[in-house]
Amino acid sequence: MNYLSKLPASKIKNKNILLRMDFNSADSWRIEAAVPTLRKLLKCQANKVFIVSHKGRPSGFEQKYSLKDSALKLGKIAKEKCFFSSYQKDLEAMQLAGFKSKEKVVVLENIRFFEGEEKNDIKFARQLASNIDFYVNDAFSVSHRKAASVCAITQVLPSYAGLLLEKEIAGLSKLLVKPKKPFTVIVGGGKAADKLLAVINLSKIADRILLAGVCANTLLKIRGEEVGDSMIDDSPKNLPIYKKILKIKNVILPVDVAYRGDSIFDVGPLTADLYSKFVASSKTLLWGGPLGLTEEKPFDEGSKKLLRSIGSNKSCYAVCGGGETVEFVRKSKKEGAFKFVSTGGGAMLEFLAGESLPGIKSLR
């Protein structure tokens, strides 16, 4: 794989670069994580850096998904003037406006406003590559998607992994290659189907997998326990996978839960204590997905107790990832409890499931 970190400054100077970032988060943490790559390109005197990103899943142009505010945030964080190239139906016109601007940093409008993006259309990628010298992927969090600005673009431009992407690969690989024992994995939150293969793969190397959220609710119901109107994954195609997970001896389910009405909204106090004790004795830890609905009190109690236990274990290589988890950790001002914070949610779990991510594979 070609890494930007190993590219001499002379190969960057006076070049026009397409940089894939990810602005798709409730706050600015993903922008902050990718700023070092932008700074390196500017320090090496790139001519222009065109930033491609997305927000949400729009159907054509939708103003609420505009990246205008994100471009302003980027400018403040990077302390660099950014030209925002507003939406035009013609991608070439958006790029031309960027080339005409005096600013070195150009943020293009939401790339998902163009249907060629999610189709991974090579013709669209060629348009995106117009007058560009090389491409840098610094958006690990979308590298599990087959999209034009992630995959097809690498077929038409010399391509490099950005500083953040390189950091993600190194940080997460430590969990897969001889992790220190005991190794504890915590999987909670929603989108249970996205996490099933990661649970199975990680159960082979982890000492215990602690489950919560929709995945745990679903398994409890399959096991015959009452879960009321709690959120579950009722997809028939996933049922065999859940049954397989139930047979894995080091997968641990909640022993009690906290209800609101007829629905489970958090783990109970006994489970919070049990999970915290496992965390306290861990040498390696991965946390992907909160234990409960952390946006609402008191259903953040389980996650808060878990976070305190992680923070107290100074000898543990602790990693967290996923939007909900990272936002909770940041809100709690406990980023220091983790040796590595991943910008990926689905991408992180697919990487840890042993999947070859399209965005990373295409750089090789």
| Number of Cβ within a 10 Å radius of residue 47 | 14
What is d(CA 94, CA 71) in angstroms, rounded to the nearest whole number?
Answer: 15
**Which of helix, strand or coil describes residue 6?**
helix
Contact indicator for 105, 78 with CB cutoff of 8 Å: yes
Alpha helices in the chain (DSSP H): 29-43, 68-78, 91-100, 115-118, 122-128, 163-176, 196-202, 213-222, 239-246, 269-280, 301-312, 323-331, 346-352, 358-361
Q: What pairing do the DSSP bridges indicate for beta strands 284-288 and 317-321?
A: parallel
CATH code of 178-352, in short, is 3.40.50.1260
Residue 105 CA from chain centroid, whole number:
24
Question: Bridge-partner residues for 18, per DSSP?
Answer: 50, 135
Residue with tokens 């991408």: 347
- Residue span(s) of the chain under CATH 3.40.50.1260 come to 4-166, 178-352
Q: Which residues contact 290 (CB under 8 A, 6 or more apart)?
A: 188, 189, 212, 213, 300, 303, 324, 325, 328
Nearest to 327 by CA among 352, 347, 300, 359: 300
C-alpha angle 184-245-269 in degrees, rounded to nearest 5 = 55
Question: pTM here?
Answer: 0.87
What is d(CA 154, CA 294) in angstroms, rounded to the nearest whole number?
Answer: 39
Q: Each residue's pLDDT tens digit in the chain (364 positions)?
A: 999 999 999 999 999 999 999 998 877 888 998 899 999 999 999 999 999 999 999 999 999 999 999 999 999 999 999 999 999 988 999 999 999 999 999 999 999 999 999 999 999 999 999 999 999 999 999 999 999 999 999 999 999 999 999 999 999 998 888 899 999 999 999 888 878 988 999 999 999 999 999 999 999 999 999 999 999 999 999 999 999 999 999 999 999 999 999 999 999 999 999 999 999 999 999 999 999 999 999 999 999 999 999 999 999 999 999 888 999 999 999 999 999 999 988 888 888 877 789 999 999 8
* Backbone angles phi and psi of 182, in degrees to 5: -70, 145
Contact indicator for 71, 61 with CB cutoff of 8 Å: no
Edge to edge, the sheet with strand 251-252 lists 251-252, 208-211, 183-187, 284-288, 317-321, 340-342
What is d(CA 181, CA 230) in angstroms, rounded to the nearest whole number?
Answer: 34
| Number of Cβ within a 10 Å radius of residue 240 | 9
Find the length of the chain: 364
What is d(CA 347, CA 194) in angstroms, rounded to the nearest whole number?
Answer: 10
pLDDT for 67: 95
Specify whether domain 4-166 bears CATH 3.40.50.1260: yes
**Which of helix, strand or coil describes residue 159?**
strand
Nearest to 161 by CA among 357, 315, 299: 357
